[in-house]
Structure 1
Amino acid sequence: MRKRGPARRIRTRHVVAALVAGIMTMSLAACGGDGEAGADSFTVGLLLPSRAVPRWEHSDKPLIEKRVKELCPRCTMAYANAQNDATRQRAQVTSMITKGVEVLILDAADTRALRSSIQEARKAGVPVVAYDRLAEGPVSGYVSFDGAQVGRLQGEALLKAMEDKANGGNVVMMNGDPTSPNAAWYKEGTLSVLTGKVKIARSYDTLGWNSENAHANMSAAIAALGPNRIDGVLAANDAIAAGVISALKSAGVSELPPVTGQDADLDAVRRIIKGEQYMTVYKPFRTEAYAAAAMAVALGRGEGLRDVATTTTDSPTTEHIPSVLLAPSAVTVGNIEQTLVKDGVYTIDQICTRQLRPACDRAGLAR
């Protein structure tokens, strides 16, 4: 089959907003309320890629577990975390298949390296839902966010923060892990906004999406450019942003340039309130998790995904994958309450520690 680059071909069949409403309000009666469906009893395997990004275990895992249980009360969950090791994750897939899981939700540590494992699952009759990252191989469904839009939101926010330096300002791009197709997707969206408006002074890939590697890369950028010649940093996610900011502080930069992020980690939200990080991208984890759970339960029952998927996506190996691609939103200090607090991601008390109380007051975050 002809291979494609990082850009995805997407065919939309329904309005995404309608799907989101359906996922969030789907009644238990419609998903196993009668006697026969209520007798369902199978195991859903959940495989997440790492612990470097806090959202995986703090948000996605409990939300998926909760929704699977709501949709299929007698179903059970099996869980494994690859800790950024594709070899470990391949072994985890094999183990789950051997133990009899009937469907897998897989966020691949390496989307190419897991291809053989997905083929193994297919041969065993175990459908795979690709979660957050589009793995190669014969996946049965895919749930994520529009990665190009994530990148555009980051680029647009950075330009706004650099209004007085946009023409000729130096930007350092701290991209994600190249083993993830999402990293290229985010970068593509970002460059569609930044190209021709700023100078990309340095660009780095961040292995593992972790803070330590980001710190090392940012230290190299500071050494090459000088601590005061960096006007903005495009950090692909909040863990990378943390490493960027720590490197800038270590270099003695007192007036930090605007730094982007993604995932709305609690520490990142606090950095935004302190003025250390300019923005993050909020991806409604609940909606993504619920869509994946709905796909998994449907596939476990031997049903199709027509009532869940809103579009189809082509991977480098597989065409017409039933998909849900959700819309992200930008979060800055001015709309934390209207986004993250309103959606119940965090309470103001969680965000505003005693030390942050004055900054929260200035940001208008009232208890």
Structure 2
Amino acid sequence: MATALAGCGSGGSASDEDGFKVGLLLSQNVQTRWEKFDKPLIEKKVTELCADCTVEYANAEGDVATQQQQVETLINKDVKVLLLSAVNFRSLRFSVERAHDAGVPVIAYDGLVEGPISAHVSFDNERVGRLQGEALLRALGDRAADGQIVMMNGPQTSPTNVAFKKGALSALQGKVRIGKSYDTPGWSQETAHTNMDSALAALGADSVDGVYAANDGLAAGVISALKSAGIDPLPPVTGQDADLAAVRRIVLGEQYMSVYKPFKAEADAAARIAVALGRGEDIDDLTDTTVDTATTKDIPAVRLDPVPVTVDDIRSTVVKDGVYTIDQICTPELAAACRRAGLTG
């Protein structure tokens, strides 16, 4: 940490007038949040904090080798600080070390990454999973004791995804039987559909009382498989990220809930830390906790609270925060469902 800060400040403290480059590398674009929310929100906040600063952006589209090359490219472009949402938390360790050696502090954004990172900004990911599990149990009600669910987890290739699963299991184990559990490479919606087909074949279409889906993309794959199998009514299905399509499914009653992670709070916190590190400033007042990885201890961190969203919470969460408007959610096809949900008159 001290080395990274010293390297960052070695050229003298930058002012707004001087400006500098902030690197932003996102891991994938399967989830719509990255390009639609995180990127523009970070860019906007960096500019607000440092008028002459610029953001150098790239998306790895899920490919480790691509992201490794992107790190090299940004180091060569003389970025002062790097915000990194890593494709794989172990495979990017050498790249983090390269940046550190070049005097470029790395902020692990949303998920952790091994190596000498200077800060971490994310949500309480175990709590995300726990909120999903608790919501699923509420939806099942008295059926939980004798019921059976399917778990559709994300890829277990990062501490973030491991935390989602751990949090969900902390709520679900001992409360409901887990008939099948799948880890889904690449958060693939198509793989989730295929795995749900397999679960229905193995367990029986009438024997699945609910589905824990770790995010909204997996939920979409699960729901398409359930509908293709002619299951009606659909069992409760969880999700995460409050994607627009997922919010519409919640209005329709196809998806029970999602987890809204206020992207602006995360993006703003990351931008503040990036600008401070770019100026060689201390970040103690900008962080509220610490985290550890296998390679680095006591990493300054910001840990934000996720928010569960069911049909009753849409107006007070994603609409209130300006993520979506009622008009965006309530397409003509959803008119009747929106009236039932109290979103329109």
TM-score between both structures, scaled by the size of structure 2: 0.95
Deviates more, 1:307-316 or 1:233-242: 307-316
Q: Which residue in 1 is equivalent to 2:200?
A: 222
2:62 is paired with a residue whose SS is coil
Show the 5 A alignment for 1:200-215. Answer: 200-215=178-193
Query: One-letter code of the match for 1:37?
Result: S
1:275 aligns with 2:260: no
Percent identical residues? 61
Partner Cα distance (2:58, 2:35) in 1: 10
1:47-86 correspondence runs (5 A): 47-86=25-64
Does 2:278 match 1:300? yes
Equivalent positions of 1:330-349 (< 5 A) are 330-349=308-327
Match of 1:40 in 2: 18
The 5 Å alignment of 1:58-207 reads 58-207=36-185
1:237 is aligned, of 215, 235, 249, to 215
The Cα offsets for residues 249-276 of structure 1, whole Å up to 9 and x where unpaired, read as 1222122110000000000000000000
3-state DSSP class of the match of 1:70?
A: helix
The reply on whether 1:262 has 2:262 as its aligned counterpart is: no
Which of 250, 257, 263 is residue 285 of structure 1 equivalent to?
Answer: 263
Gaps of 5+ in 2: 1-13
Size of the alignment, in residue pairs?
A: 333
Aligned residue type for 2:319: V
Conserved 8 A contact 2:16-2:53: no
Aligned partners of 2:191, 2:56: CA distance in 1, in Å?
31
Q: Is the 8 A contact 1:40 1:72 kept in 2?
A: no
Give how far 1:215 is off.
1.1
Q: Write the deviation string for residues 226-246 of structure 1: whole angstroms up to 9, x where unpaired.
A: 111111100000011001111
Give the superposed CA RMSD. Answer: 1.2
Q: Are the equivalent residues in 2 in contact too, given 1:49–1:82 (CA < 8 A)? A: yes
SS in 2 for 1:155: helix
CA contact (8 A) 2:151 2:182 kept: yes
Q: Secondary structure at the match of 1:56?
A: helix
CA distance, structure 2, for counterparts of residue 255 and residue 180 of structure 1 = 35
Note the residue ranges of structure 1 that are not aligned, 5 or more in a row: 1-35
Contact 1:260 1:278 in 2 (8 A): yes
CA distance in 2, matches of 1:182, 1:201: 24
Read off the aligned partner of 1:229 and give its amino acid letter.
Answer: S
Question: How much does 1:38 deviate?
Answer: 2.4
Contact 1:43 1:100 in 2 (8 A): yes
In 1, the alpha carbon distance for the partners of 2:344 and 2:221 equals: 30
Listed one character per residue, the Cα deviations across residues 37-85 of structure 1 (whole Å, up to 9, x for unaligned) are: 3213111111111110100000100000000000011001111111111
Q: Which residue of 1 aligns with 2:303?
A: 325
- TM-score scaled by length of structure 1: 0.89
